[in-house]
Amino acid sequence: MKKFISKLKTEKKSPNSTGFSFSFYSGLGGFLAIAIVAILTNNTEIPFMMAPFGATCVLAFGVPVSPLAQPRNILGGHLISTIIGILCLQFLGTEWYSLAIGVGSAIAIMQLTKTTHPPAGADPLVVILSGSTWSFLINPVLSGAIIITLIALLFNNFHKKRKYPTYWW
């Protein structure tokens, strides 16, 4: 028991808060990105929005230096995961194992291609459960991911203490 307690004392503590200014700016970036994507969706009748983009904004604006938030990861992760989801839907239907294979395959292939983007792990679920077709890959996935990435590029570099991206490819 003493070893266990000693180990707990030496483990790292949770990270410090980013502070009010950084947090507020992160929230503002997420607000603007989702607002623009939602307005485009409403005014053009083209679907640019999907639920995983909320989590994409957490990374792109909340931790813009994270490898998981880089353009390669946002675009590649969403594209790969959506393709996997569509293939699972076409070949396996909407069974429980289709959902599981979709998410598991997306994780593995994102890691192999260095495009890991956690929000994209939900894409196969969205695709399979909604019965999406190949057009879903363009709208909302590719178009929405590009818009969010461009907003992150402009917004994060507008602030003197932020630099985005850390790398492109």
pLDDT digits (tens, 9 = 90+) for 59-92: 999 999 999 999 999 999 999 999 999 999 999 9
> pLDDT at position 110, please?
98
| Domains held by the chain: number | 1
Domain extent for 149: 22-158
pTM: 0.90
The answer as to whether 165 is a domain residue is no
163 falls within a domain = no
Residue 82, in any domain of the structure: yes
58 belongs to a structural domain: yes
Does residue 167 form part of some domain? no
| Percentage, residues of the chain above pLDDT 90 | 84
- First-to-last alpha carbon distance for the chain, in angstroms, is 48
Residues 6+ away with beta carbon under 8 Å from 161:
22
Q: Do residues 56 and 82 make contact, with C-beta atoms less than 8 angstroms apart?
A: no
Peptide bond into 118 cis (omega under 30): no
118 token code pair: 């956690």
Taking 3-state DSSP, the helix, strand and coil percentages for the chain, each rounded to the nearest 5, stand at 75, 0, 25
Summarize the confidence of residues 36-41 as an average pLDDT. Answer: 97
